Amino acid sequence: MKNFLYSIVLGVVVISMSSCRNDFEFSDSTGKLGFSQDTVFLDTVFSTIGSSTRTFKVYNNSNQDIMIPTVGLARGNDSKYRLAVDGVPGQLFENVELLANDSLYVFIETTINIADFSNANQFVYEDVIEFDSGANLQQVRLVTLVKDAVFLFPERDANGIEETLLLGTDGENNEVRISGFFLNDQELVFTKEKPYVIYGFAGIPPEKTLSIEPGARLFFHSQSGIIAANEASLQINGMASTTETMENQVILEGDRLEPGFDDVAGQWFGIWLTSGSKNHKISHTTIKNASIGIIMDNQNPDSNGATLQIDNSEIYNSSNIGLLATTADIEAENLIINNAGQSSLVVRLGGSYRFNNCTITNYWNKGFRQDPTLILSNAFPNTNLTEPLNQALFTNCIIYGDRDLELSLRAAEGVEFNFKMENTLLRFNDRFNDFVGNGLYDFTNTQLYENVKLNENPFFENPQSDLLRIDTESAANALGNLATATRTDIQGTIRSNEPDAGAYESVDLE
């Protein structure tokens, strides 16, 4: 981005050398220029981090070739904005030529250090591009919201080598490392005072706990994330928030703040809870636009209860998998996992799992999706490794999507494969009877499926846009079991005596 001016200038020089002519006669501008927009909003930027480049067009709608005497920033050389007018970089331009019924481009970008202006956590920085002066003065306003932030990133040693974290060794005993760093003791509590911008993997050291307080906002650069080492713990302590403010919700997402990146999957890696880590708890949290929302590796008997307890949380728009669990121990309530390039939830190599009042769905519309919403397996793909699936219990859930078969049960012979669905709405439309005779898909077997509805409409609000509320006409309405349902739904609504399946109690969406 910072080198865009050079590329533009080079192109302009080549064009001008090949197309010079001197037979135009230019008249002075009369203050009647047209603009594609009169205010340019540069996207919110973090302090000291450059913005994306924005453009607008200047039009000469007259039948005369004109000369604009001056084009420049009102703040002059003190401005934090950078310009290029028709490919030429600078902050003040004189005698800018514009042919009849023609237009030119103006490019703008900025880098702002909030410490130079204010102690506030965020503020608006403004300037004006002035075209001509006096009676012919015309202006285009520039506006940028600037956020102060805590930046966390790998350090470099005296030789310029970036800090890394050791993951282990490969088959040839070579070290496998990722760009990252261990958080120090002063960095193990994230607050809502300022947003956190993370480059590389922020590692939770062994036997330490990272606590993330209500209202914290975490922004991750490409291929960045959080990783918990052996005996380390992650505690995300979000609290219930109103839908309008989400002020106590903890939100983890990519660091591209432009509106066009609001729902771009795969902007950052995700949360990795490695084998040997323990006591993970995630509450009232939104994890969006990662490659894999959460990787949960292995059970830890030293944990207080399930190794990962997650409630009232949402995992949206993962380019690969929403929640990937390997021989894990997970307990989830009022959890939503929606829209992933492969599967929303993958359980592999056994483990123990309890999902209650969860909405596990997939309406991925950014490419072709082959895999079902939910995969349960007691093996590891493309290996001979197996582990018992001790329990996979889904109660009061919705497991759905836009494919016919949204459940895949992959049981290795001779190894425990214990699963059950109760009071659950499931999409499994076996159009071609491929699974007739397969006991794992015998929906009349109450040892496996009890009070399960198949292929009836959940009437979601808009699942492609991650809006998973259900209408009162939903097949999940009153499907839940009062004895096992959560007391409140994900929004804090007290469930009725006839509770609904899924994370939300139904409302009249009309």
Q: Which tens digit of pLDDT belongs to each residue from 155-169?
A: 888 777 889 999 988
What is the number of H-type helices and E-type strands within the chain? Answer: 1, 40
**Is the same domain home to 255 and 368?**
yes
**Is the same domain home to 114 and 139?**
yes
Residue 486 lies in a domain: no
Domain that holds residue 417: 164-470
Residue 497 lies in a domain: no
For residue 456, count CB atoms less than 10 angstroms from its CB and return exposed for 0-12, middle for 13-18, buried for 19 or more. middle
Q: Domain ends where: 116, 147, 178? A: 147
Residue 496 lies in a domain: no
For residue 15, the model assigns a pLDDT of: 35
**Is the same domain home to 302 and 423?**
yes
Residue 254 host element (H or E) = strand 250-254
* Residues ≥6 apart with Cβ < 8 Å to 64: 27, 100
Mean pLDDT of the chain: 91
What's this model's pTM, rounded to 2 decimal places?
0.83
- The SS3 call for residue 311 is strand
Residue 434 pLDDT grade (very low, low, confident, very high; cuts 50, 70, 90): very high
Residue 16 host element (H or E) = helix 4-18
Q: What pLDDT digit, counting tens, does each position of 5-36 carry? A: 444 434 443 333 333 444 557 888 888 999 99
Length of the chain: 510
Residue 53 lies in a domain: yes
**CATH number of 8's domain:** 2.60.40.10
**Is the same domain home to 386 and 335?**
yes
For residue 18, the model assigns a pLDDT of: 36
- The SS3 call for residue 85 is strand
Cβ pair 163, 180 in contact under 8 A: yes
Give the Å distances, CA to CA, from 220 to 278, 287, 365. Answer: 23, 11, 24
Residue 439 lies in a domain: yes
**Is the same domain home to 296 and 331?**
yes
Residue 43 pLDDT grade (very low, low, confident, very high; cuts 50, 70, 90): confident
Residue 229 lies in a domain: yes
Residue 162 is encoded by which pair of tokens? 């970036």
State the Cα–Cα distance between residues 325 and 295, nearest whole angstrom: 6
Residue 50 pLDDT grade (very low, low, confident, very high; cuts 50, 70, 90): confident
**Is the same domain home to 67 and 209?**
no
Q: Domain ends where: 112, 147, 182? A: 147
pLDDT exceeds cutoff 90 at 298 = no
Q: What is the number of domains present in the chain?
A: 2
Residue 197 lies in a domain: yes
Residue 330 is encoded by which pair of tokens? 């997970």
Q: Domain ends where: 147, 176, 191? A: 147
**Is the same domain home to 224 and 78?**
no
The two most distant CA atoms of the chain are separated, in Å, by 89
**Is the same domain home to 249 and 110?**
no
State the Cα–Cα distance between residues 127 and 80, nearest whole angstrom: 9
For residue 388, the model assigns a pLDDT of: 97
Residue 156 lies in a domain: no
State the Cα–Cα distance between residues 215 and 203, nearest whole angstrom: 21
* Straight-line distance from the first to the last Cα atom of the chain, in angstroms, rounded to the nearest whole number: 45
**Is the same domain home to 174 and 143?**
no
**Is the same domain home to 220 and 275?**
yes
Q: What is the DSSP string of 116-167?
A: GT-SSSEEEEEEEEEES-GGG-EEEEEEEEEE--EEE---B-TT-PBPEEEE
- As a three-state string, the secondary structure of 446-468 is CCCEECCEECCCCCEEEHHHCEE
Cβ pair 80, 52 in contact under 8 A: no
Closest CA to 422 of 397, 456, 399: 397
Q: What pLDDT digit, counting tens, does each position of 96-137 carry? A: 999 999 999 999 999 888 777 655 566 778 899 999 999 999
- As a three-state string, the secondary structure of 261-280 is HCCCCCCECEEEECCCCCCE
Beta partners for residue 140, in sequence order: 129
**Is the same domain home to 453 and 350?**
yes
For residue 148, the model assigns a pLDDT of: 85
**Is the same domain home to 188 and 143?**
no
Q: What percent of the chain has pLDDT over 70?
A: 93
